[in-house]
Amino acid sequence: MTLTLKIYSRIVVAALATLSCSSVLVAAPPSGGSVMDQATPDSRRTWVYFVDKGLHTQAEVSAAVSDLAASYDPHAIARRQTRRSLPGLFDERDLPVCEAYVQGVVDVTGAEVHVRSKWLNAISVWATPDQLGGLEVLPFVDHIAPVRVGLLDLPELERTAEPGDQLQDPMGDGWYGYAEEQLAQINVIALHSAGFTGAGVRVGILDTGFHRAHIAFNHPDHPLQVITEWDFVDNDGNTDIENGDGGEQHAHGTMILGTLGAYQPNSYVGTAYDASFILCKTEDLYDEYQAEEDNYVAGLELIEANGGDVATSSLGYIDWYTQADLDGQTAVTTIGVNIATANGIHCCTAAGNEGHDSNPSRSHLIAPSDAYQVITCGAAESTGEIAGFSSDGPTADGREKPEVLARGASTWTISPYEDRGYGTASGTSLSTPLVAGAVACLEQARPEWTVDEVRTRLFTTADYYLANGTFDPLFIYGYGMIDVLAAADLIGFYEIVPGVAGEVNTLTARNVTPGNTAYFVWGLTEGTKAVPGCPGVSVQINNPQIGGTAMADGIGDAELIKTVPGAASGMTVYLQVVEPATCRKSNLLMFVFG
């Protein structure tokens, strides 16, 4: 044993002398081989946690942290500046794992690297029992732990339809197709009508894979926008169907992506159809163990580094945990979500399909639904009643979970099997992307809101809370069905009478805070202008001219009678309302003079 330790030490010193600990690009996916390439009959996936980042003085750490911004995604930096709840833009957890340590693990033990996690300061490796013994004695290894694995409970497509089949049309015009009723239930159609459809928002999805041949992903005027993708199972940049994938591998992820981003008017339109997507294939349905937590954490890190605003996962992990472990700080995936939300990502996850009971001390949750700031989603019927399979809380430390509801019973989505088909499926898997899409639209409307502010607005405008003034004490309904339009708390236009060029025009805004001043901001060209005193808030026109009227106490509307100077017949005017005292604003309106 003494001779073996000396050999380990000699190799490690050589590795530390020749390799840099800061050579990994911050937004790059993890390197390593595929599961099929690296697994041997007696190897197991194992976390290897390092003692540090290979920087041995605080000055070195501070310098490395300061250098991160130069190579980080600008969208991610903007999100951190607005919503990060930790001190500074970056900290030591954002530094990559030390490559000298990684190489030392490989050289000394022969273990095969699967993923790197900068947040956990760890790598996952395929290692045999003999290799595990070598890992534990390396001087730069803090400890090792098994990568938790398990099986998935995935929903199946229940009933199918083709374009042109008879559609129910509760809203009247049918533009949203099969999705109309479930979107109206959470009031996201009204938020779309106010101009907030997820445009400019980046949504990351962690799932089984994403087949994107469906017509609703390939509309000639509106194709799906994918910023980046990574397959953590096969370690490549293709999350679509590949050689060796089974027939069901991509079904679940494709349905989730469709619920969010599909666009085929009059057949199916998704919750955040104008958003852009970051796709992470994290689960292998044809492995002995389908769900592996290391892929999940690596996927979250990829979403964050590429500027994700919202992250959603409809998969959870419970096989290796007890309900007592779901305390917000034990499960690896839960820890990953906690770090993501602290960096300003609005995270949504499924509560699970384990059912519920009337015992408030007994829960049926899955990880990472216990994360502190994650929005945990239960499932409702089309009537608004709770679905029988929807899991209940609380968390082990007594927090309310699930927190919100959306339709998860017979929810319409695209078919993952037919490129022109649609169908229904059930599970908190389906309610979660409805909530995540609503959050993406809310993020577009309220980019200045923090993670906690979005949570608070969603919870305090949900139906159970409005009816009862609190959350469900049985931990089944949470705060209830969301109303994302109410959550947005927008100033809206009540009446606009532009009239004829040169005449007096009456403009009326609603939902202005009594006692405050509403400013009608208008211009002849579209663009963006910051609102003084409101960091992160801007009105969407250039060269604005402003008029305002003070509100009387108890009055909810503001009226401005104004003649637009120089207006000519056919001229387009852009108009928005802003309330500087609260930094609230309306949607952007365009009208043409007669």
> Domain residue spans in the chain?
2-147, 162-488, 492-592
- Rounded to an integer, what is the distance from CA 316 to the centroid of its chain? 15
DSSP 249-269: TTHHHHHHHHHHH-EETTTEE
pLDDT of residue 212: 97
| Rg value, the chain, Cα | 26
pLDDT for the residue 24: 37
CA atoms in the 13 A half-sphere facing the CB of 76? 26
Distance CA 412, CA 158 (A): 10
Distance CA 269, CA 562 (A): 39
Q: How many CA atoms lie within 13 A of 414 on its CB side?
A: 36
- Report how many helices (DSSP H) and strands (DSSP E) the chain contains, helices first: 15, 30
**Of 418, 406, 433, nearest in space to 165 by CA:** 418
Q: Phi-psi region for residue 352, left (φ > 0), alpha (ψ -120 to 50) or beta?
A: left
- Can you name the CATH fold of 492-592? Immunoglobulin-like (2.60.40)
Closest CA to 205 of 153, 242, 273, 257: 257
Counting as low any pLDDT under 70, the low residues of the chain are 1-41, 150-153, 156-173, 287-291, 492-517, 520, 522-526, 540-569, 587, 590-591, 593-594
What 3-state DSSP class applies to 567? Answer: coil
Q: How far is CA 314 from CA 168, 215, 283, 307, 311, in A?
A: 27, 23, 11, 20, 10
pLDDT value for 503: 59
Q: Which residue has the tokens 């017949």?
A: 569
Q: What is the pLDDT of residue 194?
A: 83
pLDDT of residue 522: 66
Both structure tokens of 3: 């001779």
Q: What's residue 315's pLDDT?
A: 81
The angle at the Cα of 168, spanning 166 to 169, to the nearest 5 degrees, equals: 120
The confidence score (pLDDT) of residue 392 equals 93
CATH, domain range 162-488? 3.40.50.200
Please give the positions annotated as active site.
207, 252, 429
CA angle 325, 120, 345 (to 5 degrees): 85
CA–CA separation, 333 and 148 (whole Å): 10
